Structure 1
Amino acid sequence: MVWSLIRRRTASGLPRPGRCGPGRHVLATERLLLFTPRTRLDVAAGLAASADTEAQRWLGTQADEVLPDPDTRRALLAWRPAGDDGRRIPRVLAEPYTPGPDDPLFLVCVRRSDLSYAGGLELHHVTGEMGGWLAPDCRGRGLGAELFRAGVELAHTHAGLVTVRAGAEPGNTASRRALARAGFAPDRGPARHTLPDGRVVDAVWHRHDSTAARRCH
């Protein structure tokens, strides 16, 4: 079953797990495929997955990076990665995307079952801090643990980090449970955290360590 899924996803034109390139990474879990965005559509859909009120309660993204219109968010999430559903996307969204050398590592994720956009994962490879989110239709399905396990793999076997950390508010039980299922352990850290939008919130911290960290090619 695993091999047939890999062949199907390769045939679709999506990046292939294990085939990383300079500044670009690809990972797979049982139900998710995560990769460095190839187009502006990948970036926009990844951000749309986190722009609803429920997600922003916890993420606090800067206002200029949030898509406030729910119809726009739904439209972006209804697309499939460029070229993989037969539709011709608008030229501005089809433009290639190249991450900057100092940018955090950002991976968009899609569901392997239908290639729909499922969320995003971000790793600050200097500080070792990780964050992630799922699109509204993907929440409550156990995908959070898969997303954070992919973050662990990205940190330890792609970015060469010995330790990766993640913070959450005490009341964000869904994220904290997903981190625990992904193998994270409680960690010490600042009791208060400032979100990108300026809100200061209570924080609890989690960490995952590896004695065999390495970088991919």
Structure 2
Amino acid sequence: MFGRTAAPALRCGFGGFHAATSARLELTIPRRQELIDVWAQLTDAEASFRLGWGPAGPVVERDDTDPMVIADEGAEFVARDLLAGGVVASIGFGRGNDGFMEVGGLVHPTFRRFGFGRETLELVCAFAHQHFGIVELRAKCEPDNEASRRWLASAGFLPVDGTVAHTLPDGRKIAAVLWRRLDPTAQRRCKRPFTPIG
């Protein structure tokens, strides 16, 4: 995509380290405890409701080894503002029930509606397609979630006709619009073991 800016240089290193820089952001894969702290900073009532996390936030299993959040099942990324260093967003992709990689995340309330969410999502998609070799990414959102619909469309996702049943982590069942983003030029460049589908 990157019609507005040049394609980012994607960096890959030891232990699951991955990073990229855009005009305003630095994107990295966090360690588990950092991600939990970031989610606490980013989550407001609207995000918690839409993501189905409930009032206590997401449920994350304890892991004393504090690994980087990357595995065959997907990866999480944290975006920080290059000027101030503050957390802007957390967006990741993980394997859905159908085997395809699904994208989702949240943007800090003060950074919403300024293009930071799109910029972060484009960086994550660049990693998915041009580093991990994932041809098709999917996403879901409720039909009335206009902000998410605009966000996905701005980063090159296209809606699929109709709705699909989706169960959120808090058990709430919703009808969701399925979105797809295809990159037929997707190519695996990462040396880390990873088994993409889609």
Report the Cα distance in structure 2 between the residues aligned to 1:109 and 1:51, rounded to whole angstroms. Answer: 15
Q: Is the helix fraction higher in 1 or 2?
A: 1
Larger CA Rg, structure 1 vs 2: 1
Q: In the alignment, which of 179, 183, 186 is matched to residue 152 of structure 2?
A: 179
Aligned residue pairs total 174
Note the alpha carbon deviations across 1:127-176, whole angstroms, 9 max, x for none: 21110210121112121211221222121012211100111111111111
Q: How much is the aligned-residue C-alpha RMSD, in angstroms?
A: 2.6
Report the Cα distance in structure 1 between the residues aligned to 2:189 and 2:55, rounded to whole angstroms. Answer: 34
Task: Report the TM-score, using the length of structure 1 for normalisation.
Answer: 0.70
Task: Report the TM-score, using the length of structure 2 for normalisation.
Answer: 0.76
Gap change, CA 1:28 and 1:185, over 3 Å in 2: same
Q: In the alignment, which of 109, 119, 137 is matched to residue 110 of structure 2?
A: 137
Identity %: 34
Structure 2 residue runs of 5 or longer lacking an equivalent are: 1-7, 60-64, 191-198
State the AA in 2 paired with 1:23: G
Q: Is the 8 A contact 1:37 1:107 kept in 2?
A: yes
Q: Corresponding residue for 2:46?
A: 54
Task: Give 4+ residue runs of structure 1 displaced > 4 Å after superposition.
Answer: 62-65
Shift of 1:177: 0.5
Q: Is the strand fraction higher in 1 or 2?
A: 2
Q: Is the 8 A contact 1:130 1:164 kept in 2?
A: yes
Structure 1 residue runs of 5 or longer lacking an equivalent are: 1-15, 68-94
Listed as ranges, the matches of 1:182-193 within 5 Å are 182-188=155-161, 190-193=163-166
State the AA in 2 paired with 1:158: H
